[in-house]
Structure 1
Amino acid sequence: MTRFELLTDEEWDIIADFLPGPTGKKGRPFADARTMIEGIIYRYRTGIAWRDLPETFGPWQTVWRWHARMAREGTWDLIQNRLHVHAEQAGLIDWNVSIDSTIARAHQHATNITRLKKGSSNYKNLLTEPLDHAVGRSRGGLSTKTHQLVDGQGLPVVTICTAGQDGDSPMFIPLMERVKIGRRTRPDAALGDKAYSSRAIRSYLRKRRVEAVIPEPRDQQGHRKRRGSKGGRRPKFDAEKYRGRNVVERGYSRLKQWRGLATRYDKLATIYRAAVVLNGVIAWLKHLRDTP
């Protein structure tokens, strides 16, 4: 493979049927789908401007239009869902899921667009552009926060992008509610750090019969002890199982190997999120390819 050939033949064969193809009607020649997809991957992997895309991928405008259209239509979500089903049927999904978030600084090219509302709401419909474009001001400046629920191997199952100042805890239940692989919607255990330790989250997990592997912060411990018997029992916590939570951190390390994701250059949240999902599709393809 050359530096411009970013998908193996095996990986391409898996996703080719889900991508647009020629209709047989007269008109302009239909762009080669594999070249377009590899152009999109190359752009986000290197973090270059769309206009600087190498000529080997054809006109940059065509590659951009492909990416924008597939983002609007949710093509990468569909492909990732099919990969999930295939992996589940093969018994390759670890249902001890982990949840966490990561911040990406928004470049000035991503912020010169009118934001009409504070706080993101695109977790209700991930294909609809939120009014704030998932850009907010956190300690590091204007930024976007990516929340992911990953399986026990660090492979993404659900991805939501919100404004950088949005909290982690409020996104826990929206992430869990979007888990659906085949007929299965309930993980065995949910692993999260202290940011996800709340009464609402623990109650939600109990109702769904999902084991909560979430440490209790010291302030909550002190509050519970001060209340005596009214404070209730100490939440169960499997320290050994919690050690597996670092898979989500390793997944974010892989995600940010793509410079176009480590820094957000896209004006629209749906465009940026589609690239994050594409990164997950590549990770799933490699996992399925390497697993006997």
Structure 2
Amino acid sequence: MSRTELLTDAQWELIAPLMPSSQGRRGRPFADHRTVVEGIIYRYRTGIAWRDLPGCFGPWQTVWKRHRRFSGDGTWDKIHSVLLAHADAAGLIDWEVSVDSTINRAHQHATNLPRDTGGPDEFYTNLRIEPPDHAIGRSRGGLSTKIHHLCDGNMRPLVMLLGPGQGGDSPMFEHVMNALRVPRLGGGRPRTRPDRALGDKAYSSRANRKLLRRRGIQAVIPERDDQIANRKRRGAKGGRPVTYDTEAYKRRNVVERGFNIFKQWRALATRYDKLALRTSGGGRARRVRFGG
């Protein structure tokens, strides 16, 4: 397989039926989806500018516009959901999930827009609304985006949310857990509750533990040193010590290994797109904005 042939026939057969057939009720039919999709894959793998795509993928404007359209109309979300549903039906999803975040450094080409575009100051879950900050914030390393990732025990990505680089991990935990929805092929309600959730000390808070306890999910999150000291200082009023499965916590490395794989794709390791919608590629990587 050459470097420009990116999908096997078997892979394309899985997603081809899920691609839209036309540009709307009165629009012209889409042509040659496979070439365009492979152009999108090639661009994210190599990190080149859209206009520098090789000619074998067709006009770069077509590839860019179709990616923008499919990001906004939920096509990528639909494909992701269906693939997860098939994986769950085949017993391939390990419902011991791990959560963490990583920094996605923003290139100067992604940061030459005003941070405030006049949007409403609220959480952004509508695919057609860009957050005022475009999920770009200023952290110690400069302008950056933070990718919040929830994966299963086999490194399969279940949820990805975008936030500004300076945003904390713990405030995003509830949004990440609420975004977990894996449909069932036989019908019925999507599965939203894993067996246990693994996270590092950044996710240690009473609110997060209460959320998991309320939903019947086992928490595997160690307690921070300052929380331990504060609890001991308060004596009996500090409550009981936090307990967690230390052997299960060793398996949290799957989320770190997943980041290592994603960052082999240059356009995921560095953000080149101005809009969070195009950066995320769909609603499973929704943009969530926090103040500050």
TM-score by length of 2: 0.89
Shift of 1:126: 4.9
Aligned residue type for 1:112: N
Distance 2:270 2:85 in 1: 31
Gaps of 5+ in 1: 279-292
Which of 260, 271, 276 aligns to 1:269? It is 276
In 2 relative to 1, CA 249–276 (structure 1 residues): closer, same or farther, beyond 3 Å?
farther
Matches within 5 A, 1:166-177: 166-177=167-178
Match of 1:241 in 2: 248
2: CA distance between counterparts of 1:80 and 1:34? 17
Tell me the C-alpha RMSD between the 2 structures.
Answer: 2.4
CA distance in 2, matches of 1:16, 1:237: 44
Which amino acid is the alignment partner of residue 80 of structure 1? H
CA contact (8 A) 2:72 2:127 kept: no
Q: Aligned residue for 2:193?
A: 186
Distance (Å, rounded) in 2 between the aligned partners of 1:26 and 1:75? 18
Aligned to 1:59: 59
1:125 paired residue number? 126
| Alignment counterpart, residue 199 of structure 1, candidates 193, 206, 219 | 206
Question: More displaced, 125-134 or 137-146?
Answer: 125-134
Say whether 1:115 aligns with 2:115.
Answer: yes
State the Cα distance separating 1:78 from its structure 2 match: 1.0
Q: What CA distance in whole angstroms lies between the structure 2 residues aligned with 1:26 and 1:176? A: 39
Q: Which amino acid aligns with 2:277?
A: T
Higher helix share: 1
The structural deviation recorded for 1:158 is 1.0
Per-residue CA distance 1:83-104 (angstroms, 9 max, x = gap): 1111111111111111100101
SS of the equivalent of 2:114 reads: coil
Equivalent pair of 2:193/2:215 in contact (CA under 8 Å): yes
- Structure 1 runs (4+) deviating above 4 angstroms are 25-30, 120-123, 275-278
Residue by residue over 1:104-161, the C-alpha shift from the partner in whole angstroms, topping out at 9 and shown as x without a partner, is 111110011111189x955533553111101110000000001011111111111110
Please name the residue that 2:137 is paired with: 136
Output the amino acid matched with 2:250.
R
Partner SS state of residue 227, structure 1: helix
Contact 1:97 1:149 (C-alpha < 8 Å) held by counterparts: yes
Inter-partner Cα distance in structure 1 for 2:8 and 2:224: 46
Post-superposition offset of 1:21: 2.9
Q: Distance in 2 between matches of 1:132 and 1:78?
A: 26
Separation in 2, partners of 1:65, 1:37: 12
Query: Kindly, what percent of the aligned residue pairs are identical?
Result: 61
SS of 1:97's partner is strand
Query: SS at the partner of 2:37?
Result: helix
